[in-house]
Every structure is written in structure tokens, then in C-alpha cells.
Amino acid sequence: MIPILFGVLLLTFVVSHVVTPYPARAWAGPRASESTVQTIANRYHLNDPLPIQFYYYLSDLFRGDWGVSPSTGQPVLANILAFFPATIELTIVAFLLSVAVGIPLGVVSAVHRDQPVDHLLRLVSLSGIASPPFLVALLMQLILFYYLRIFPESGGRISPLISPPTHITGLFLVDSLLTGNLPAFVSSLQHILMPALALALVTFGLATRLTRASMLEVLRTDYVRTARAKGLNNRTVIYKHALRNALISTTTIMSSAFAFLLGGTVVIETIFSWPGIGRYAAQAVLNLDFPAIMGTTLVFALGVVLCNLVADTLYALLDPRIKLG
Amino acid sequence: MLEKKEIRITLRLLTRNPLSIAGGIITVWFFSTAIAISLTGSRFLPHDPDAIMLSNALSPPSMTYWFGTDPLGRDIFSRVMMATPIDASIAVVIVGVSLVVGVMLGSMAGYVGSKLDEIIMRTTDVFMAFPALVLALAVAVGLGPGIIPLVEALLIVWWPWYVRLARGETLSVRENQYIEGARAAGLSTFRIVTKHVIPNLITPVLVYASLDLGYVILTTSVLSYLGLGAQPPQSEWGRMVFDGQPYLSTAWWVPILPGVMILIVVLGFSLLGDGLRDVLDPKSRK
């Protein structure tokens, strides 16, 4: 955990100070004057030897100085914290959606192996993985919004006519439930569903395929044969004996799916105007706003490290044979 | 490596699955189009990809304009085809370099073990803590616009997966008796790894690489959708989707059809790689 975190910080340092040919120019932004570039270079010690730069880089990070975004003129950390809850909410809903749909379909696929259902599900889940996120998002907008008019026009987390719920966690769905604000809950649900579905498509395919693969492996084992031999009905064997064991490996790998989800937010949030970190990163790319990009990259990496930690803990809880050492 | 007979059996099993055949056809078509276009240019395309004809702007897909035309009246199908060489070569370069680097580092890490293994694997852990897309974005923005920075950015994020894969395979190859025999015969570590370990782990790595070509194309298209990589007037699929986005409600084909093209090609690689893996995995082979 600690070595990984150190490694993550070292890598962001290498990318921002060593790989980048003109760090001071990159940090100052493309439209900055020569004197501003100089000020930035002095402020962040960009002319010092690299180890000393790394020391200042770390101490700045820990003091909460993540640089100032040239395009918004605000501190990067403040921007990221403001956009953070929206992204968390979106990724959690997308993750739940993909797992809730993906795992049952994976079971169906494994049980009906090499039958037409299996081929169809394989095609669907592979298309989910193979489709560019922007294509899915645009198709959903085209069909669900322009033609069927099921969902509200994309943009924001809640209808502009409804005031957002009182800030408790920053997650609109949770906050509106906690305060009993039903109109806000319904409106946020309507707004989150389309981007979450679009985002979920990639990890949904992953969940289906992982569940299928590990189910196939488990269904071959002796204890499943024993369960069948002692006359348990098919349902019990599949869901009680096989699936519980198959889920162990699915759980661990699905945690790495969070990395995909976070990467996906960059595109999905942009298309659906979802005010989160992903859209912030995409705008930073357009504006060549390097401090903002580096800040986002760091936050996303910290998020992935945290998810892996959670997954390891879950792994130990799910599988009594494994003890946390 | 695979024996001749092995290859024949593999091909026969592979062609039993209609999805794998479809994947194979798409893959072959994609590469032959890319090669044909890079050799002959736009000569054999239905229209000149850069010919602006404002009277024809935004015409829907038809027999003359298969994918319709864009706001400048350019034929979208021809423009999509013109972009194949750039995507094909990026995919081949990224996968090729990652494969070579990954197999070398991974097989050394797995075979030598101890300290070297620790160092190499902890390094890949760090890289894999980043969402690949986001790290590539950061590197590409730092390096500046253009195709070369894009390729460099992708290379930086792509190799660790191959190290993981090659190391995992090495760990099982290492236990074979022929490795012990080679060691007993006094071969150097370098020779054992290059002559005995790598040839025995290369098949699964190549299968993974065939799947992976598609994902490089996918990631490239996302990066160029976000404004990195190919700069206008060069046509690139992700960029075409981005530029066509304002016309979604009035002329859906402008952004959607180049996107569908990406989906078809990536799906083709996935189907082929998936089928290959099923066929080559002794456990699922029937």
C-alpha cells in the first residue's frame, strides 16, 4: 500500500517534471507570458536538481498546493474537490448497474455454454467492451432523447427547476433520500440514469465474461458434482454452490474495473455535461491545462489504489481460506 | 511455437465458430484496406476524401454516398477509409513494442525471481494503478499535440500488461523438466530464457496481442476524440465523431457512422482473439 502510493507519486512527478519537455511552460499554460513562466519556475523550483524538485513536489502536494489551473484561475485541488462527489456518484451507480446485470447474464451464459444464448450474450458483452464510450453515449442521446424522449435532455445532475438537496455527502441521490426530498431524488435519478448506463456498458461486458469464465471452471469441480449427485435441484447447485465460489475471483477482478470506469468518465461526463472530474479533465485537455490534468490523474490513481485495497479486504471476507496477513 | 499439425487443428477448430470467422474476416479486411490505401492513396475510393462540395453538404447515406456527407459535402465513407493506415500502424507499433518489452522483462522477472522480480513487478503495479486512458492523456498533454506524442503516451501506459502476462506464463513454464535439464547442462540464464522459456510462452502472449490490437485502436480513437493526436485536416475516426457531434440531432450519420466503424473493427479483433483463446486453451478444447 505505502510503496504503491509512493510509486504513484513518483510516476506523476516523472510525467510532469521529466517526461514533459518544458515543465514550466506546461504548468503555466499555453497563453502565459514569459514572465509568468519564470514565476512558475521559481515558485515550483523547476530549475533545481530533480531530487530537490521531487522533495518540493511532495511537500506541496501534502500541504494541499496542487498548482493553479491556468484556465479556471483557481487552485486545482479546490476544483477537484468540488467536482469529486458527482464523479463518485456516477461511477458507483454505473458499477452497481453493470454488476447487477452482468453477473446473472454470465451465469446464464455459462449454464447454456455453446448454445445460441451463450453466443448471443458473448456478442453483446464483447460489443460492450469493444464499443468506444462516445459512440454509446451519442447513440443513447439520439435514441432515448431525440427519438423516444424518455430521458430529460442531458446536462447537469438535476433539473434546473428543482433546487439540489441539502449538502450532506454531496451525492444527490443519498442526500435527497436522507432529507426526504422526493422531487429532488426523482429528478437526480432521471439525470443520472443515462450517463450511468453508458458508462456501465464496458464493465457490464467485463462482469458477464468474468462470471462466465469462473462459473465454467467451478461447474467442473468435484463438489458441484457431489451436490448434483446427492440430488439437489439445479437451481440450488448453480446459485448456492457454484456461484458463491465463482464470485470470489469475479470480485477481485471487478475492482480493477473501477479503473476503466474512472477512465470512462472523461468521455461520458463530457458528452452528458455531468459536472464531475472526468469532464474537468477533458476540458483541461482542450485548454492544455497541465496542472488540472496532473491533479486529475493523481486523484484517479489514488481512487484505484483505494479500490484495490477494498477488493483485497472483500476477497478475504468472501473466501474463508484467505487470511489478511 | 506451434507445430504445423497444431496450426491445422487450431484453424479447423477456429473455423467452427461463426463469430471467430467474422472476426477473422474483419481483421483481414482492415489490414488489407490499410495497406492498399497507404500504397495507392485515395485512387480507388468512391470519392475524393478531401473534395469539398457545399451543395452536397449533410446528404444522408445513399448509394452514391454510403455513409452520407459531412457539413462540407465530403464523402464520409472515403474519409473513414483514408484513416485506416494511421490507426493500423499505431496499433501495430504499440502492440509490437509492448510485446517485445513485456516479454523480455516478464520472462526475466519470472525466471530469475527474487529481487529483480520484486522491482519489475512493483513498477508495473504502479503503472497499473492509473486508469490507462487518464495517464496517457497526462503524458500526451505534457508532450504536446501530434501523432508522435500520442504514440509515446500510449507506449508508456501499454507495456506493463505484457510484463504481467509473460511473467505469469514464465512461472508455469519454469517448472518444466526441460528447463531443469537445460540448467543441468550448464546453459546461461540468458540462453535458457531466450531459447527455452520465451518460445514456450509466446503463444498465449500472441493471442492476447491479437485482442489487444483492437483496444489500442479504441484508446487511440478516444484520445483523438478528446483532441489529442491527429490534427486536422488529417482524418481520424475519433476526431470525426467529435467534429460531427453538433450534427447529432440533424444529421446523425456524421458522428455515428465513423463511431460504428471503430466498433466493428475493434469487435473484429476481439472476436478473433477470443476465439483463438478458446481454441488454444487445452482446458476448454473439445
**Residue A188: which CATH number?**
1.10.3720.10
State the pLDDT confidence band at B286, using cuts at 50, 70 and 90. Answer: very low
Residues of A in Cβ contact (< 8 Å) with B133: 263-264, 266
Up-side HSE of residue B19: CA atoms within 13 Å toward CB?
22
Residue A167 inside a domain? The answer is yes
Residues A150 and A264 grouped into a single domain? yes
Q: Is-above-0.90 flag for pTM?
A: no
Q: Nearest by CB to A3, which of B122, B156, B225? A: B122
Name the domain count of chain A.
2
Nearest chain A residue to B136 by CA distance is A297
Q: For chain A, how far is it from start to end, CA to CA, in angstroms? A: 13
Q: Which of A13, A35, A62 is the last residue before a domain boundary?
A: A62
Instruction: Tell which wins on pLDDT, A147 or B79.
Output: B79
Average pLDDT along chain B: 88
Same domain for A236 and A109: yes
Asked if the Cβ–Cβ distance from B126 to A119 is below 8 Å, we say no
This complex has an ipTM of 0.85
| Residue A325 predicted with pLDDT over 60 | no
Residues A216 and A137 in one domain: yes
Domain that holds residue A30: 2-62
What is the pLDDT at residue B25? 94
Residues A183 and A305 in one domain: yes
Residues A160 and A232 in one domain: yes
Give the pLDDT of residue A250: 79
Nearest chain B alpha carbon to A255: B129
For residues B264 and B201, give the distance between their C-alpha atoms in angstroms, rounded to a whole number: 30
For residues A117 and A209, membership in a common domain is answered with yes
Q: How is residue B85 written as a grid cell? A: 493506415
Query: Does A140 map to a domain?
Result: yes
- Are residue A31 and residue A146 in the same domain, yes or no? no
- Span B37-61, pLDDT tens digits: 999 887 778 888 888 888 888 888 8
B258 band by pLDDT with thresholds 50, 70 and 90: very high
Query: Do A134 and B242 count as a contact with CB atoms less than 8 A apart?
Result: yes
A115 band by pLDDT with thresholds 50, 70 and 90: confident
Q: Please check the confidence at residue A67 and state whether its pLDDT lies above 90.
A: no
CA distances from B45 to B49, B50, B65, B239 (A): 8, 11, 11, 20
| Confidence bin at A153 (pLDDT 50/70/90) | low
Separation in Å, CA of B243 to nearest CA in chain A: 12
CA A169 to chain centre: 18
pLDDT tens-place string over residues B128-174: 888 888 999 999 988 887 889 999 999 999 999 999 999 989 988 88
Distance of alpha carbon B81 from alpha carbon B84, whole angstroms:
5
Task: Please provide the average confidence, as pLDDT, over all residues in chain A.
Answer: 85
